[in-house]
């Protein structure tokens, strides 16, 4: 049996995040990876590494999805950066076009360095059109704050409350990530399954955000689900895999380091 892991996400040209990260993660976890590109992000070294963002035309996104879903019987998909309401329309259509065993949504609202204001229309469309299809959603601290409608998340209890509130919006599982920004010595993630909460902890590595860590986590969950794991097992394995990727991070000329995916 071939374990197909599909991803619909943006390209990040330095290879630290986005679909490059997803496919590397799938490969390291022995899933057959394939994906559709929704947008191209090219950081600008001449302008403080600001985001240059180019959306792919909606019909080209639809063509990519048609090719992949016609070629293989795909049933597990990760949704990464979508970026515009027009892209969200196309992807929502694709998600309703067949049944999926799992839709893992990494609710990317903005990437590092972008203005929070740019997230508003994407947030609205993501919430109304994509979130209802998700079986697992993996918000970071910022995304969990926005999606839950909380004013802030400062403690693990706040994170649990946010995960519960996001669960009320439709997804079966919420894996909310505290990351380096949630105070404490551990990087804490909480998994809410509609009834119970499991708290996943691992000691923080450094105090800075590492590019691609969130993409890696959601992609690793996707690969494990494709291979048949339960969501709880997938989340636990993905946390270990992501921690290893952060530990092996690479530095270049960017103002942040990038996770490096590798299997042990």
Binding site for ligand PXL (CB under 6 A): 9-12, 17-18, 41, 80-81, 108, 111-112, 214-215
Q: CB of residue 139 vs ligand PXL: minimum separation in angstroms?
A: 12
Minimum CB distance to ligand PXL smaller for 80 or for 167: 80
Minimum CB distance to ligand PXL smaller for 35 or for 214: 214
Instruction: Give dist(CA 161, CA 140) in Å, integer.
Output: 14
Q: CB of residue 219 vs ligand PXL: minimum separation in angstroms?
A: 11
Q: CB of residue 100 vs ligand PXL: minimum separation in angstroms?
A: 21
Minimum CB distance to ligand PXL smaller for 32 or for 256: 256
Minimum CB distance to ligand PXL smaller for 102 or for 177: 177
Minimum CB distance to ligand PXL smaller for 205 or for 229: 205
Minimum CB distance to ligand PXL smaller for 82 or for 191: 82
């Amino acid at each position: 049996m071939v374990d197909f892991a599909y991803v619909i996400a943006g390209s990040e040209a330095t290879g630290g995040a986005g679909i490059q990260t997803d496919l590397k993660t799938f490969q390291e976890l022995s899933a057959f990876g394939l994906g559709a590109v929704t947008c191209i992000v090219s950081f600008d070294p001449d302008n403080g590494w600001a985001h240059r963002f180019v959306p792919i035309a909606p019909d080209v996104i639809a063509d990519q999805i048609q090719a992949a879903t016609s070629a293989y019987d795909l049933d597990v998909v990760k949704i990464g950066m979508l970026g515009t309401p027009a892209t969200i329309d196309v992807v929502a259509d694709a998600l309703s076009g067949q049944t999926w065993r799992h839709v893992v949504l990494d609710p990317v609202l903005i990437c590092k360095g972008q203005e929070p204001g740019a997230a508003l229309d994407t947030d609205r469309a993501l919430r109304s059109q994509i979130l209802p299809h998700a079986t697992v959603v993996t918000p970071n601290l910022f995304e969990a704050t926005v999606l839950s409608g909380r004013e802030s998340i400062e403690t693990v209890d706040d994170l649990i409350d946010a995960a519960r509130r996001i669960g009320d919006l439709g997804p079966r599982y919420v894996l909310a990530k505290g990351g380096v920004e949630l105070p404490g010595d551990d990087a804490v993630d909480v998994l809410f399954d509609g009834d119970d909460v499991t708290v996943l902890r691992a000691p923080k590595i450094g105090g800075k955000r590492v590019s691609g860590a969130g993409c890696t986590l959601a992609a690793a969950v996707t690969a494990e689900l494709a291979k048949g794991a339960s969501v709880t097992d997938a989340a636990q394995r993905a946390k270990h895999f992501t921690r290893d990727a952060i530990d092996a991070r690479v530095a270049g000329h960017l103002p942040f380091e990038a996770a490096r995916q590798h299997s042990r």
